[in-house]
Every structure is written in C-alpha cells, then in structure tokens.
Amino acid sequence: MISKLIYIIEKNSTVEHVIGYNYDENSIVGGLYTRVGIRSIYVYSIFSAFAIISNLNSSTWIAYVKVAIIILEFIEGTVQALFILIALRKRQRQTNKYEYPAREMIILLIMLDLSLWFEKITTSTKPEANPIQLAFYHVVPWSIIAAIATPLQILFRFHASVCLSHVWANMYYLPTYEPVTPRDF
C-alpha cells in the first residue's frame, strides 16, 4: 500500500502532468533510487519484525526495544522517501534575501542520513549480529535477506542525503522559462 502511495505521488505530479514540464531530470533518477531503497528497508524491517514478534514470549525487554526500533525505522524511511519524492519536484519563489524556510531542517536531515549511512556501513553485517533472526530463519535464508537488503539500505541512506543536498541547493531557484511556440497546422 505504501509503495502504491509513493507510485501515485511520483506519477501524478502536478508539474509533470498539468504543466508538462519536469523541473529536473535528476528527480526521475532520484525517485527511482529512492523507491528501490525504501523497498529494501521494508523487506529488512518486515522480516526482522516477523522473527522478533514470533519469539516475543520467550524474549527479554530487549526484543520489545528492537520491535520499537524496527517500527520507527519503517515510519521514518516512509516519511523521508515521500518527502524526497515531493521535494525533488518543488520550487519556491524567493521572497526575501535572508528568508529560506526549511533549509535548517533539510540540513538536519542530511546530517542524520549521513550518520545513519555511516552506522550502517560500520556495523557488522554478519549473521551472528542478529541472533533472533538467525534462530528463526537459520543461517542461509537470513544471510541472503541481509546480503540483499543491507547494501540497498546503504544506497538509500547515501542517496537520500545526496537528494536532500540537491533539494537544499535548488529549492529556491526557479529554472528559466522557455516560451512555447504555437504549432503550425
């Protein structure tokens, strides 16, 4: 359902369909990488949550904390992906030389993405790092899930920081308008 919502936002952009002009060619590629990356977060979160929830009766309070972290990561990734898909296509007219709303928030999101990217790169991706998932799925299936989802999560975090820096730099500058000539019949 969330993937359909992202698809609807991507395809029903007012800029692209009503006006017929895409502000930035990079927003198409950015949307593709964002959609692929968010799906890897969904896959990893769903498989992890399923394994932890199935062993919740015999677990300690740490399992409850892990479930809360997985749910928050799922929600954060969804909100950030929607924000990136929308913000890559929007521009705002500059009203005042010193007035740039949301620039501080975008800088904060860039810093958070870079720190999550760094955390994902430096943490262990061995199957032994997730004993609950390893006990539920066994070594080979969990290794395959982690080997597919982890690099795509790293891609999502780094690409999100690049897209947000692109939004930060280009949000307040409108592209030059090319007048349309009437067609000859």
- Boundaries of every domain in the chain: 2-93+101-170
pLDDT at 129 over 50: yes
Instruction: Please tell me the chain's helix, strand, coil percentages from 3-state DSSP, rounded to the nearest 5.
Output: 70, 0, 25
Residue-wise pLDDT for 96-117, tens only, equals 656 667 778 888 888 988 888 8
CA dihedral for 51, 57, 62, 65, sign (positive or negative): positive
Calpha distance 11→97 (Å, rounded) = 33
Compute how many other C-beta atoms are within 10 angstroms of the C-beta atom of residue 100.
15
Q: Which of 68-77, 95-104, 108-117, 153-162 has the lowest average pLDDT?
A: 95-104
- Sign for the CA dihedral angle at 147, 82, 110, 31 comes to positive
Binned at pLDDT 50, 70 and 90, residue 93 comes out as low
Backbone angles phi, psi at 126, to 5 degrees: -70, 150
Residue from 91, 81, 105 nearest 33 by CA: 81
pLDDT at 17: 40
Given a cut of 80, whether residue 45 has pLDDT beyond it is: yes
Give the whole-angstrom CA distance, residue 164 versus residue 113: 9
| 1 CA to centre of own chain | 16
Higher pLDDT, 76 or 4: 76
Residues 9-38 have pLDDT tens digits of 455 443 344 333 344 555 566 677 888 888
Q: How far apart are CA 156 and CA 33, in angstroms?
A: 7
Task: Average the pLDDT over each of 89-93, 115-119, 153-157 and give the range with the smallest value.
Answer: 89-93
Are the CB atoms for 168 and 103 separated by under 8 Å?
yes
Question: pTM for this structure?
Answer: 0.70
